[in-house]
């Protein structure tokens, strides 16, 4: 049997259409577009590409994009001042500070300074707490995108056994909370987990978020399982640079029921969920009923 390949690009395009419609409705009713401010400190080339593509995507979907590029030696105080200005600016609905920050800056206090209502990355401890408490907040973009892919593929997730491999604040922990809220029975695995192959093999849903090239083997996967591969690692294969996931795709795509490719799976959903969160934040801040987009 060969697994269904879950098409993240097409799922993201569908979500994008719904976001564009909601952004247009918001613009008509509120007299302004939803606004996303992206802050970049320094000149890391990968971060520059991410920031540019986020701005471009926001504009394509009919939103306002405010890009703030600060020099690598920006002080903590100057960065916090900018965040305070953005918090107070009514035309800004979402604030994203591109991580990682240069080493002399304290990321946690920067994230904590963002108004939770504008925290479209979903990293503020208050938003993490809302998620854990089952209250509405803003959810980290990558796990939100993974959940949308799972629901698109499987429909109702209630009662399914899920394993999330990796327990970061960015991906693993919010992913486990989202699956729990969908009534899955969740195992949250990490570097100290014993007998990972057996635990992966018992799961209907496997979400891999480790960052270790192809560490999860196809032979571990239950034939009925749906696999969401968040990991991205650059490897050299046959003398060529390749991007691979945490799951050994060649074998897992035969073993599983459905699987996301890398690239083209989770990645396109992550950026689209940032747009989703920006529109959601705009509606909530304006006191309007939030559209159902996901």
The binding site for ligand NAP (CB under 6 A) comprises 142, 165-168, 170-172, 189-193, 196, 209-212, 230-233, 266-267, 270
Nearest distance from C-beta of residue 6 to ligand NAP, angstroms: 13
What's the N-to-C CA distance of the chain in angstroms?
30
Assess contact for 93 and 36: CB atoms under 8 A.
Answer: yes
Catalytic residue among 93, 119, 121, 204: 121
**Backbone dihedral angles phi then psi of residue 46, each to the nearest 5 degrees:** -65, -45
Q: How far apart are CA 224 and CA 227, in angstroms?
A: 10
Can you list the positions of beta strands (E) in 31-171? 35-41, 64-70, 94-97, 161-165
Catalytic residue among 54, 118, 119, 173: 54
Provide CB contacts within 8 A for 260, sequence distance 6+. 5, 6, 8, 149, 227, 228, 229, 245, 266
The question of whether 54 is a catalytic residue gets the answer yes
Inter-CA distances, 139 with 5, 104, 121, 267, 290, Å:
25, 27, 7, 16, 14
Toward ligand NAP, which CB reaches closer, 107 or 232? 232
Toward ligand NAP, which CB reaches closer, 70 or 196? 196
Toward ligand NAP, which CB reaches closer, 86 or 269? 269
The question of whether 76 is a catalytic residue gets the answer no
The question of whether 217 is a catalytic residue gets the answer no
Toward ligand NAP, which CB reaches closer, 209 or 258? 209
Nearest distance from C-beta of residue 25 to ligand NAP, angstroms: 28
Which positions are catalytic? 54, 98, 121
């Amino acid at each position: 049997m060969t697994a269904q390949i879950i098409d993240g690009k097409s799922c993201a395009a569908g979500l994008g259409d719904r976001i564009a419609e909601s952004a247009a409705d918001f613009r008509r009713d509120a007299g302004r577009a939803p606004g996303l401010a992206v802050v970049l400190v320094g000149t890391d080339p990968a971060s520059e590409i991410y920031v540019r593509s986020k701005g471009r995507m926001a504009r394509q979907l009919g939103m306002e994009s405010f890009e703030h590029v600060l020099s690598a030696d920006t002080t903590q105080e100057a960065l916090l001042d900018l965040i305070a200005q953005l918090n107070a600016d009514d035309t800004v609905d979402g604030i994203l500070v591109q991580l990682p920050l240069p080493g002399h800056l304290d990321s946690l206090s920067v994230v904590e300074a963002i108004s939770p209502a504008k925290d479209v990355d979903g990293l503020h401890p208050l938003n993490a707490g809302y998620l854990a408490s089952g209250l509405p907040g803003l959810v980290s973009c990558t796990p939100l995108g993974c959940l949308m892919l799972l629901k698109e593929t499987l429909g109702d997730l209630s009662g399914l056994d899920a394993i999330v491999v990796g327990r970061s604040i960015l991906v693993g922990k919010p992913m486990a909370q989202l699956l729990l809220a969908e009534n899955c029975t969740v195992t949250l695995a990490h570097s100290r987990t014993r007998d990972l192959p057996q635990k992966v093999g018992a799961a209907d849903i496997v979400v891999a978020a480790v960052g270790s090239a192809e560490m999860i083997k196809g032979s571990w996967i239950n034939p009925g399982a749906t696999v969401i591969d968040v990991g991205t690692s650059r490897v050299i294969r046959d003398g060529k640079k390749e991007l691979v996931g945490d799951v050994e795709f060649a074998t897992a795509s035969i073993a599983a029921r459905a699987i996301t490719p890398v690239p083209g799976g989770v990645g396109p959903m992550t950026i689209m969920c940032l747009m989703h969160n920006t529109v959601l934040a705009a509606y909530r801040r304006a006191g309007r009923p939030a559209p159902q987009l996901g």
